[in-house]
Structure formats: C-alpha cells, structure tokens
C-alpha cells in the first residue's frame, strides 16, 4: 500500500508540474481506483472527457442531468481549506481537480501563492477587489511568476486604465486564454489598453460587462480591430447593447471565428436579431439570447437565416415570446442541427408546445427547456406522443399547468428524462 500511495503522490506532483497534461490525470485516476476510490476516479475521467466537448454534446447533457456524481457539485463539499482569505470559486474544478480560486485581497494571493501552487494545479484566479486595492498590488501581480500558470483571470469589479497597464504590461500571461471583466470601473481607456496588450492576442474567451448606455466600452474596440484574436467565446451579457452596436459587432472580423455568442440581458429588439440573421458567422454553434426582447419579428428573421443552419444550441428564454415564435422556428428546416433549445419562461402555451412536438426538423434535440410556458394537457400530450422527440435526454416542463394524468403520460414516454 505504501508504494501505491507513493506512486499516487508522484503522479499528483507530476500534474502540478504539467497541468496541461490530461494523460497524467487519467493515470492518476487509475491510481485512485486501484486504491479503492472508484467514484473520484470516475469523476476525473469524466471531467477530462467533457473538457473536449461542447455543452450541447449529448454526453454533456446526459452527465449534467442524470449522473450528478460525475459533476463538480458532488465534490465541492470535500474540498480542503485554503490559506489566508483565499476561497474556492463557485465552480472550482477543472478537469477533475480543484483549480479555481478567488480573493478579496490580491496581497493575500501573493502572500500564499507558493503554498497554493505547491498544493493544487491552480489555473484560474478571481479578483473581487476594489480599484484602490488592485492598483496598489497590480505591479506585484504582474511580476508574480505563478501567473504564468493561469488559464483564466476574472476581475469582477472591473479596473481602470492605469491598473490595466500595470497588470497586462507583462509577458508572463503565456497560458492565459480566458478573461472576464466586470463593469464597475472599466472604462473605454481600459478596453483600449487591454486589446492593445500582448496578452489579448492569445485569448480564446472574452467576457465583459458594461453598464454604459449602448455597450460602447469593449464593443467599440472589438469592432475597430483589423486583426483580432481568434475568439471562440464572446460573452457580452448585460452590456446595454443597442441595435446599432450589435450590427457593428456581428459584422466585425472579431466575430469571424466565434463559436459561442452570449448577448443575454440586453434590450436587443427585432432590429438586432435581423442584424445577426444577416451576418456571416460560419463558426457560430451556440447563441444565447436570454431576456433580450428579440420580438417575434426578430425570431422570424433568425428562423429564415443561414446562421441557424449550423447552430447546435439556441437560448430564447425569458423573452416574452408567444406560440407564433415557436411555430416559426418549428416550421424552419434550418433548425435541423439544433441539439439544445431553451425557450423557458415565455408564453408559448399549448399551441407552441404542439408546434415543437410536431416538427420533424427538431428531431435531433437532446435538451428541450419549456419551463414556465403556460402549457396545459394538450401541449403535454403532444410532446408525449411526438414521433420526433425520441432523442430527448432532458425535457423540462416545470412551472406549467399540467394535470397528474398528463404528467404520468409524459413519464411513461420519457421516464426520468422528463421533469414536470
């Protein structure tokens, strides 16, 4: 047993030295299983597998909703404590091992960095600190050798241009691929400093918030870039975007490689959806438009757009949509590749549910969310009897007006794949 423990510890040390090596993690999982911990081993293997898959992949949907012991939430309570005032983030795992930490005090992170990286394969840092505190420690952060291990950096309250200049004027962010900036103190000057930095060129994920009217802070800079980074994920939730900004954004080179676009919590209106529908977005696979007020005319434009041909995931929840929007989507042959359709918290009613259930174009769905849509027994029965919904792994009908007999008919058809 002592040799097995020694081997496991040696493997863990190797992971700390080579955090990108998934093969080491899989071998480590084998060692855990040999020592009698098959559940943790399965968790690590699953998380390594899922890191290569988009969230609309059937394997992702199956594990997220039906194998909770293989998802991070099941393991959070077993996380060890951290030094000082450091905390694990709400989603602390990366490929099966704890990797994401947060702090309200950058100095605390710097003080304990050696211990932290010696114990865990840390890859992400969330700074929840004030501008004054961040400014005073920005240079020290930039000079900390451990930031070369970071894949993801989140600054939740935003930062000013002077702080950004200090933080990102270093070449040490060599592994950084994901950047999140809160609104707060982030200014147009901040955005300019960041997009002109060496670090920005290597990003694949950019998430930013902007509470200025029109969402001008980052959108302006992104639309002016002639040779932007190859962003795969762009998250502009809650940026107060208007149709003019959206039109400029979706035609900019910065979106040429984007696979996932999130414009939720913006007042987009039909004009913005029409701009998206007319854009050339050949790599777009996931489009999130939750609480974005697209209007039925906007949904209709999207339903007839080539953009929809390649989408695998479409989110239109909380958008005040009626059955007409469900009907126009269900009638479009362009939805054939959709795997995930999220239309929760609208007003689709029975007519909308029936349109979805009767659509042969939606036969490839694995995840359908119709929570809170005023659906009654007629809509529920249409879904239960649909010949096109056989592939569903997750069907959510919570918050509707479905009688117990109709709920039983759904259960008979879908078993534990339906939630009523």
Q: Are 188 and 295 found together in one domain?
A: yes
Note if the pTM is more than 0.85: yes
Kindly state whether residues 39 and 163 are assigned to the same domain: no
CA distance 332 to 361: 7
**What mean pLDDT comes out for the span 381-404?**
98
Whether 396 is in a domain gets the answer no
Distance CA 305, CA 385 (A): 30
Count CA within 13 A, CB hemisphere, residue 329.
30
- Confidence band of 358 (pLDDT split at 50, 70, 90): very high
pLDDT at 214 over 60: no
Q: Is residue 419 part of a domain?
A: no
**Residue 57's pLDDT is what?**
94
Reported as a pLDDT band with limits 50, 70 and 90, residue 130 is low
Q: What gap in Å lies between CA 419 and CA 4, rounded to an integer?
A: 44
Domain final position from 335, 361, 387: 361
pLDDT bin (cut points 50, 70, 90) of residue 218 is confident
To the nearest 10°, report the CA torsion of 408, 414, 417, 418.
Answer: -40
Q: Is residue 380 part of a domain?
A: no
Contact 370, 347 (CB under 8 A): no
Task: Please tell me the distance from the alpha carbon of residue 27 to that of residue 19, in angstroms, as a whole number.
Answer: 13
Do 131 and 11 lie in one domain? The reply is no
Phi and psi, residue 296, nearest 5°: -65, -30
70-86 per-residue burial string, b: 16 or more CB within 10 A, e: under 16: bbbeebeeeeeebeeeb
User: In 199-270, which ranges are E strands?
Assistant: 205-208, 233-235, 260-262
Q: What is the domain range of residue 323?
A: 75-361
In angstroms, rounded to a whole number, what is the distance separating the alpha carbons of residues 386 and 354?
9
Q: What is the mean pLDDT of residues 277-284?
A: 96
Could you tell me if 198 and 269 lie in one domain?
yes
Domain boundary among 53, 69, 85: 69
Which are the contacts of 7, defined by CB distance < 8 A and separation ≥ 6? 31
Counted domains in the chain: 2
Residue 164 reports pLDDT greater than 50: yes
**388 within some domain:** no
Distance CA 123, CA 117 (A): 9
- Dihedrals phi, psi of 153, to nearest 5 degrees: -130, 130
Percentage with pLDDT > 70 across the chain: 95
Give pLDDT tens digits for 5-60: 567 889 999 999 999 999 999 999 999 899 888 989 998 999 999 988 999 999 99
The DSSP code for 81 is: P
Q: What is the pLDDT of residue 1?
A: 42
Provide mean pLDDT across the span 204-213: 80
CA neighbor of 144 nearest in space, from 105, 112, 177: 112
Tokens coding 55: 């969230």
Poorest-pLDDT segment among 38-42, 274-278, 408-412: 38-42
* Least reliable range by pLDDT among 64-78, 271-285, 391-405: 64-78
Mean pLDDT, the chain, as a whole number?
Answer: 90
21-48: b (≥16 Cβ within 10 Å) or e: ebebbbbbbebbbeeeeeebbbbbbbbb
Considering the domain architecture, whether residues 80 and 204 belong to the same structural domain is answered as: yes
Q: Which residue has the higher pLDDT, 228 or 130?
A: 228
Looking at the fold, whether 63 and 191 belong to one and the same domain comes out as no
- Under 8 Å between Cβ of 353 and 329: no
- Give domain status of residue 95, yes or no: yes
Give the list of residues 6+ apart from residue 332 with CB closer than 8 angstroms, or none.
303, 304, 308, 361
- Written as six digits, the tokens of 399 are 């918050």
Whether 407 is in a domain gets the answer no
pLDDT at 359: 98
Q: Are residues 221 and 299 in the same domain?
A: yes
Q: What is the mean predicted confidence (pLDDT) over 183-203?
A: 83
Using alpha carbons, list the distances in angstroms from residue 138 to 156, 359, 379.
15, 55, 56
For the residues 137-142, what does the mean pLDDT come to?
84
Where does a domain end: 318, 343, 361?
361
């Amino acid at each position: 047993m002592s040799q097995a423990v020694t081997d496991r510890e040696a493997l863990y040390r190797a992971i700390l030295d080579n955090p990108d090596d998934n093969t080491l993690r899989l071998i480590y999982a084998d060692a855990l299983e040999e020592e009698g911990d098959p559940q943790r081993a399965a968790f690590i293997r699953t998380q390594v597998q899922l890191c290569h898959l988009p969230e609309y992949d059937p394997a992702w949907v199956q594990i997220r909703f039906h194998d909770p012991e293989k998802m991070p939430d099941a393991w959070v309570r077993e996380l060890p404590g951290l030094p000082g005032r450091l905390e694990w983030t709400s989603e602390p795992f990366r490929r099966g091992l704890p990797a994401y930490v947060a702090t309200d005090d950058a100095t605390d992170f710097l003080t304990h960095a050696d211990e932290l990286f010696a114990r865990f394969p840390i890859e992400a840092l969330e700074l929840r600190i004030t501008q004054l505190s961040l400014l005073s420690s920005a240079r020290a952060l930039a000079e900390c050798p451990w930031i070369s291990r970071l894949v993801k950096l989140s600054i939740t309250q935003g930062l000013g241009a002077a702080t950004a200049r200090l933080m990102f004027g270093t070449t040490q962010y060599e592994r950084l691929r994901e950047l999140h900036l809160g609104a707060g103190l982030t200014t147009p000057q901040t955005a300019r400093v960041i997009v002109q930095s060496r670090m920005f060129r290597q990003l694949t994920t950019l998430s930013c918030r902007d509470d200025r009217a029109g969402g001008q802070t980052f959108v302006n800079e992104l639309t002016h870039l002639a040779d932007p980074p190859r962003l795969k994920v762009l998250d502009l939730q809650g940026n107060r975007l208007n149709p003019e900004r959206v039109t400029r954004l979706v035609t900019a080179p910065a979106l040429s490689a984007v696979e996932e676009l999130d414009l939720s919590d913006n007042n987009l209106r039909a004009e913005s959806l029409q701009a998206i529908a007319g854009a050339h977005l050949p790599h777009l696979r996931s489009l999130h438009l939750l609480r974005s007020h697209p209007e039925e005319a906007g949904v209709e434009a999207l339903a007839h757009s080539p953009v929809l041909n390649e989408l695998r995931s479409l989110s239109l929840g909380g958008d005040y949509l009626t059955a007409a929007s469900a009907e126009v989507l269900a009638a479009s042959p362009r939805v054939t590749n959709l795997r995930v359709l999220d239309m929760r918290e609208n007003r689709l009613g029975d007519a909308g549910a029936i349109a979805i259930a009767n659509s042969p174009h939606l036969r490839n769905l694995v995840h359908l969310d119709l929570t809170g849509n005023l659906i009654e027994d007629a809509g529920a029965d249409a879904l239960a009897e649909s010949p096109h919904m056989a592939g569903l792994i997750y069907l959510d009908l919570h918050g509707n007006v479905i009688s117990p007999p109709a709920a039983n008919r759904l259960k008979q058809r879908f078993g534990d794949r339906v939630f009523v």
